Structures are given as structure tokens and as C-alpha cells.
Structure 1
Amino acid sequence: MAHTPVNHPARPIYRALGALTGLYFVVFGGLGLVASAGGELLARDDTKVLGQGTNLGFSLFSLVVGVAVLAGTALGRNRDVAIHGWLAYLLMAVGLAGLAFLQTEANVFNWTITTVIVVMSLALVLLMVSMYGKVGTDDEHEAWQKARLVL
């Protein structure tokens, strides 16, 4: 895709942002597992971690997402771009579903509005990381430069 930057100069910064996002999910998931230990998988109670509503199910989900983001960052070489992109879209879909079901019995992850805001924000960070993390050859970089200058 000609509009996606190749070999962006700030790529290391975007990779670091991706790693920090994954680390946040791992820490949140781990703290959530500790806070919701002994409870039901999809309990609807007052369990909060880092100011966000959670339960055992969402803590496990966060842990899996965090490990996947960190694994994608460690793999690199455009595999991270695909992994971060897909996870970003997954988190956006889960965040929108969480927002839609916030005040209903279908709120299976025990979310609060704070949880929705954090998940959607981190999804946007991952999407940005996936858009600016692409690497390629010098020829691909030159083709992207030429394509972006043609309006």
C-alpha cells in the first residue's frame, strides 16, 4: 500500500510504544488475576484494578493480548505490523461492544466507562504503531516517498 510509510524515521519510538502497550496489558492482567482470584470467570462485582472494572475473564483476556503484543514486538520485521493491526481492530471491536453493553447484564467483562476509554485509547495506540512500523527495502522506501508527494 503506497500510503503506508516504509522505514519511518520514528519506527523505534513506535516499537517502544507498542512494547509499553503490551506491558500495560500484561501488568493489568496480572494485577486483575490477583484481585479477582477465587471469583467467577465472568463475575459482575466491584473488582477494580488501576481504576478500571475487571473480572477474571477480562484479566485473562488482557494477559493474552499483552503477551501477543509483546511477542509481535519481539518478532519485528513486519510481523509486528500485522499482529498489532489485528489486535488493534479486535480491541476496538471489544471496546465498542463493552460500551454498548455497559449498563446491561451482557457486560460480561465487568467494565466501567473508564475501562472502555482505556481499551479504546490503547487500541488506537496499537493501530498507530502498526501503521508506522513497516520496514522494507530502500526501493520500497523511495517508492513510498514518491507516492506520497504525488497528489
Structure 2
Amino acid sequence: MAHTPVNHPARPIFRAIGGLTGLYLVAFGALGIIASAGGDLFAQDDTRVLGQGTNLGFSLLSILLGGAILAGTVIGRNLDVLINQWLAYVVMAVSLAGLAFIRTEANIFNFSVVTVIVLMVIGLVLLMVGMYGKVGTDDEREAWEKARLVL
């Protein structure tokens, strides 16, 4: 897409922020597994990790998402951009679904309002990282700059 920056000067910083986001999700998931050990997979109890409601199922999902983000960050080559953008939409959709079902029996991930807010922020950070992390050739960079100047 012509409006997505290519070879942005702050790309390494955005890539590091994406890696830290994946690391946070893995750490949260690991702490969640420790805190919810022995419980049901989709238990709806008062288990809290880092102030967020969680259960074993959501902890495993967090580790899976964080691992995918970390793998994309390590591999690079615009695969991280693709992973970050798609997972941003997934995380935001899960966050909104969690908000919709927060006080019902359908709250299978034991979300709290804090969990919803943190997931929405993580989704927005991943979207930002995905938009500014694209690497390309000099021709692609020049095409982006020309398109930017036209607008």
C-alpha cells in the first residue's frame, strides 16, 4: 500500500516495541498458568495476574499470541509486519468480545475490565508497530515518499 511508510527511520524502535509486547504476553501467560494451576481450563473465578482477570485458557492463548509475535520479530523480513497487523485485529476483536460478555456465563477467558483495556492497548500498539515496521527497496521507499508528497 502506498500510504504505509517503507524503511521508516524509527523502524528498529518499533520492532523492539513489538518484541516487548510479545514478551509481555508470554510473561503474562506464564504467570497466569502458575496462578491458575489446578483449576479448570475456562474457570470463572477470581484469579488475577498483574491486575488482570485470567484463567488457564486465556493464559495459554496469551503465550501462543506472544510466541507468534516474538517469532515474527526474530524472523523479520516483513513477516513481523504481517503478523503484527493481523494479530492486532485478532487481539482487538477478542478484547471487544470479552467486553461484550464480561458479566455473562460466556466469559470463558475470565476477563475483567482491566483485561479488556490492556488487550485493546496491546492491539493498538501491535497495529502501530505493524504499520511502521515495513522494510523495502529504495524504489519502494521513493514511491512511498512520492505518494506521501502528493497527498
TM-score by length of 1: 0.99
* Aligned: 1:149 with 2:125: no
Aligned partners of 1:69 and 1:80: how far apart in 2?
Answer: 7
| AA partner of residue 24 (structure 1) | Y
Q: Which runs of 5+ in 2 are unaligned?
A: none
- SS at 2:84's partner residue? helix
Structure 1 residue ranges (4+ consecutive) displaced by more than 4 angstroms after TM superposition: none
Structure-2 separation of matches of 1:25 and 1:144: 33
2:7 matches 1:10: no
State the match for 1:77 in structure 2: 77
The offset of 1:146, in angstroms, is 0.6
Matches of 1:96 and 1:46 in 2, distance apart?
21
What does residue 31 of structure 1 align with? Answer: 31
Post-superposition Cα deviations, 1:10-65, rounded to whole Å, max 9, x if no partner, equal 00000000000000000000000000001000000000000000000000000000
Structure 1: where are the runs of 5+ without partners?
Answer: none
Give the alignment's Cα RMSD to 1 decimal. Answer: 0.4
1:68 and 2:79 are equivalent in the alignment: no
Q: How many residues align?
A: 151
Aligned residue in 2 for 1:93: 93
Q: Distance in 1 between matches of 2:117 and 2:92?
A: 10
TM-score (norm 2): 0.99
Aligned match of 2:130: 130
Q: Cα distance, 1:114 vs. partner?
A: 0.1
